Amino acid sequence: MKRYNVSDHAIKRATERLRVKRSQAVGYLNQLMQTAVYIGDRTNEDGSIVAAYYHENSRTEIRVSTDGKDIVTCMKKPRLVGTIEAQLPTPLLSAVKREAAKLLRNHGRELRKLERELAEAELLLAQKRLNRLKTNNPRTKAAIDRDITDISTKIDANKTSIGDIEAAISQLKAHA
C-alpha cells in the first residue's frame, strides 16, 4: 500500500469538505487514494500543475503533487460517469460500451506486449551487468556500459508507456 504525505492544507480541506476528523484525515485520504482513478492533470490556484485522482464511491477529487508523493488538496465533486450516461439514448450507450470494451481489449494486448518486452529488456540488462562483472578490459567495460545505458533508457520508456496504458484502462473500465 503506497503511503502519501498529506499537506496541512489537504488536512484542513478534508475536515471542511469531507467532514473527517483532523486526526483521521491522513489515513482517510491515503485509503481513498488506494482505489482512486487518475483523471488528468489540473492547475491549482497558485499556478502549479498537479495530478488529479477521483474516488468514485466517495465522489472525491484528490490532487497529488507532480512527484506523486504528496496529497495537496481534496474536494467533493459530482459523479463523473453517471451524469453523461444518464443522458444518452440506449442504442448510443450500448455503442459506447462496445467501443470501450474494444479499446480495453486492445489496451490489454498492448499492455501484455509491453510487459513482455520489459521483462526481456530487464533480463538482457541483467546479462549485460553480469558480463561487465566478468570483464577486465576497460574498452569492453565501456562498450557494455553504453549498452546498459541504452537498455535502461528503453526500460524507462517502456515503464512510462505501461503506466499510460494502465491509466487509460482504469478510465475505460468505468464505461465497459
CB burial class (10 A; 0-12, 13-18, 19+) of residue 101? middle
Question: CA-CA distance, 133 to 44, in Å (whole number)?
Answer: 49
User: Which DSSP helix (H) or strand (E) runs through 60?
Assistant: strand 60-64
The alpha carbon dihedral of 45, 51, 56, 57 has a sign of negative
pLDDT at site 83: 46
What is the value of pTM for the model shown? 0.48
How would you write the pLDDT of the chain (176 residues) with one tens digit per residue? 788 999 999 999 999 998 999 999 999 999 999 988 888 888 888 888 898 898 888 889 999 988 888 999 999 887 665 545 556 677 877 887 888 889 889 999 999 999 999 999 999 999 999 999 999 999 999 999 999 999 999 999 999 999 888 888 888 776 65
Please report, for the chain, the start and end positions of each structural domain, with discontinuous segments joined by +: 5-80, 83-172
Question: Which residue do the cell numbers 508507456 mark?
Answer: 161
Please report, for residues 14, 56, 93, 103, 107, the alpha-carbon distance to residue 10 in angstroms, rounded to integers and kept in the order given. 6, 19, 37, 35, 34
Q: Which amino acid is at 154?
A: K
Angle between helices 25-35 and 8-17 (to 10 degrees): 90
Residue 21: how many other CB atoms lie within 10 Å = 9
- Cα 108 from chain centroid (whole Å): 16
pLDDT at site 175: 61
β-pair type (5-6, 60-64): unpaired
Q: Which residues contact 56 (CB under 8 A, 6 or more apart)?
A: 37, 79, 80, 81, 174
Q: Which of 29, 42, 23, 24 is nearest to 2 (CA)?
A: 29
